[in-house]
Homo-oligomer: A and B are copies of this chain.
Amino acid sequence: MIKRVLIGILCGSAILTAGILIGHIGIKKSSSSAPSWVRDVAKDVDQSLIEKFLSEVDSVQIQENLRELTKVPHMATTAGDEQTVQFMLKRWQDPETGLDQAWREEYMVYLSFPDPKNPNKVTVVSPSDTVLHTAREKEKPYTPDQNDPEVVQPYAAYSPAGHVKGKLVYANQGKPSDYQLLSQTVDLRGTIAITRYGGAGRAAKAINAAPYGVLGVLVYTDPLDINDGLMSDVNETYPHSWYMPPSGVERGSFTTHFGDSLTPYLAAKEETYRIPVKNITGIPPIPIQPIGFEDAYKLICELGGKAAPAAWRGAFNCTYNFGGPGFKHTSVFNNSDVKLDIFNHEEVKNSSNVMGVIRGSVEPDRYVIYGNHRDSWVHGAIDPSSGTSVMLELTRVLGVFVKQGKWRPRRSIIFGSWGAEEFGLIGSAEYTEQYFAKLSERTVAYINVDIAVFANATLRASGMPSMQNVIFTAAKQVKAPGLDSTSVYDNWIQYANRTSPAHGTIPRVGYLSGGGSDYAAFVHYLGITSMDISYTYDRSKTNARIYPAYHTAYDTFDYASKFIDPGFVSHQAIARTAGNVLIRLADSLLLPLNCSDYAESLEDYLNTAVTLYQDDLKSSNISMEPLKRAVASFRSAATHLDQVIRSSDLANETPLKVRRINDQLMLLDRAFLDPLAFPDKYAYRHVIWASSSAGQPTFPGLADAFANAESSGKSTDWDKVHYHLSVLSQAIEGAAHTLVDVI
Residues on A facing B (Cβ under 8 Å): 8, 11-12, 15-25, 27, 29, 32-35, 37-38, 40-41, 263, 265-267, 269, 271-273, 276, 357, 359-360, 362-365, 367, 412, 414, 433-438, 441-442, 623, 625-626, 652-656, 659-660, 663-664, 667, 670-671, 674-676, 719, 722-723, 725-727, 730, 733-735, 737-738, 742-743
Q: Which B residues are CB-close (under 8 A) to A674?
A: 265
Q: Which B residues are CB-close (under 8 A) to A12?
A: 11-12, 15
Chain B residue nearest to A264 (CB atoms) is B676
CA distance A434 to B738 in the complex (A): 12
Query: Within the complex, which residue of B266, B360, B441 is in contact with A667, where a contact is CB–CB below 8 Å?
Result: B441
Q: Which B residues are CB-close (under 8 A) to A33?
A: 29, 32-34
Q: Which B residues are CB-close (under 8 A) to A625?
A: 271
CA distance A735 to B438 in the complex (A): 8
Q: Judging by beta carbons under 8 Å apart, are B438 and A734 in contact? A: yes
Query: Within the complex, which residue of B24, B29, B367, B656 is in contact with A743, where a contact is CB–CB below 8 Å?
Result: B367
Beyond known contacts A41-B656, A272-B626, A364-B743: 12 more, CB 8 A cutoff? A15-B15, A21-B23, A35-B654, A272-B730, A359-B743, A365-B664, A433-B730, A436-B734, A441-B670, A442-B742, A655-B656, A659-B659
Chain B residue nearest to A33 (CB atoms) is B32
CA distance A670 to B440 in the complex (A): 10
Q: Judging by beta carbons under 8 Å apart, are B273 and A362 in contact? A: no
Q: Are A19 and B11 CB-contacts (below 8 A) given A723-B273, A743-B364?
A: no
Q: Judging by beta carbons under 8 Å apart, are A734 and B437 in contact? A: yes
Chain B residue nearest to A652 (CB atoms) is B35
CA distance A656 to B674 in the complex (A): 30
Query: Within the complex, which residue of B16, B435, B667 is in contact with A15, where a contact is CB–CB below 8 Å?
Result: B16
Q: Which B residues are CB-close (under 8 A) to A34?
A: 32-35, 38
- Distance in Å from the Cβ of A468 to the closest Cβ of chain B? 22
Chain B residue nearest to A34 (CB atoms) is B34
Q: Judging by beta carbons under 8 Å apart, are A654 and B655 in contact? A: yes
Q: Are A271 and B671 CB-contacts (below 8 A) given A24-B29, A41-B656, A660-B365?
A: no
CA distance A25 to B21 in the complex (A): 12
Q: Which B residues are CB-close (under 8 A) to A667?
A: 437, 441
Q: Which B residues are CB-close (under 8 A) to A653?
A: 37
27 of the cross-chain contacts (CB-CB < 8 Å) are A8-B11, A12-B12, A15-B15, A16-B16, A16-B18, A16-B19, A17-B19, A19-B20, A19-B21, A20-B22, A24-B27, A24-B29, A29-B33, A33-B33, A33-B34, A37-B654, A41-B654, A271-B623, A272-B730, A357-B743, A362-B656, A363-B660, A365-B742, A438-B671, A442-B742, A655-B656, A659-B659
Chain B residue nearest to A719 (CB atoms) is B273
Q: Judging by beta carbons under 8 Å apart, are A435 and B267 in contact? A: no
CA distance A266 to B687 in the complex (A): 14
Looking at A11, A16, A37, A357, which has the most chain B CB atoms within 10 Å of its CB?
Answer: A16
CA distance A727 to B263 in the complex (A): 11
Q: Which B residues are CB-close (under 8 A) to A441?
A: 663, 667, 670, 738
- Distance in Å from the Cβ of A195 to the closest Cβ of chain B? 35
Chain B residue nearest to A653 (CB atoms) is B37
CA distance A664 to B738 in the complex (A): 20
Q: Judging by beta carbons under 8 Å apart, are A743 and B19 in contact? A: no
Chain B residue nearest to A441 (CB atoms) is B667
Chain B residue nearest to A21 (CB atoms) is B23
Q: Judging by beta carbons under 8 Å apart, are B23 and A365 in contact? A: no
Q: 9 closest Cβ contacts across the A-B interface?
A: A19-B19, A23-B23, A437-B671, A20-B23, A23-B24, A365-B742, A37-B654, A675-B675, A16-B19
Q: Judging by beta carbons under 8 Å apart, are A434 and B663 in contact? A: no
Looking at A8, A32, A362, A655, which has the most chain B CB atoms within 10 Å of its CB?
Answer: A32
Q: Which B residues are CB-close (under 8 A) to A435?
A: 734, 737
Q: Judging by beta carbons under 8 Å apart, are B726 and A273 in contact? A: yes
Q: Which B residues are CB-close (under 8 A) to A434?
A: 730, 733-734
Q: Which B residues are CB-close (under 8 A) to A436?
A: 734
Q: Are A654 and B734 CB-contacts (below 8 A) given A15-B15, A19-B16, A367-B743?
A: no
Chain B residue nearest to A271 (CB atoms) is B626
- Distance in Å from the Cβ of A705 to the closest Cβ of chain B? 11
Chain B residue nearest to A676 (CB atoms) is B265
CA distance A441 to B668 in the complex (A): 10
Q: Are A437 and B362 CB-contacts (below 8 A) given A24-B29, A37-B654, A623-B271?
A: no
Q: Which B residues are CB-close (under 8 A) to A19?
A: 15-23
Query: Within the complex, which residue of B35, B273, B412, B654 is in contact with A722, where a contact is CB–CB below 8 Å?
Result: B273
Chain B residue nearest to A360 (CB atoms) is B743
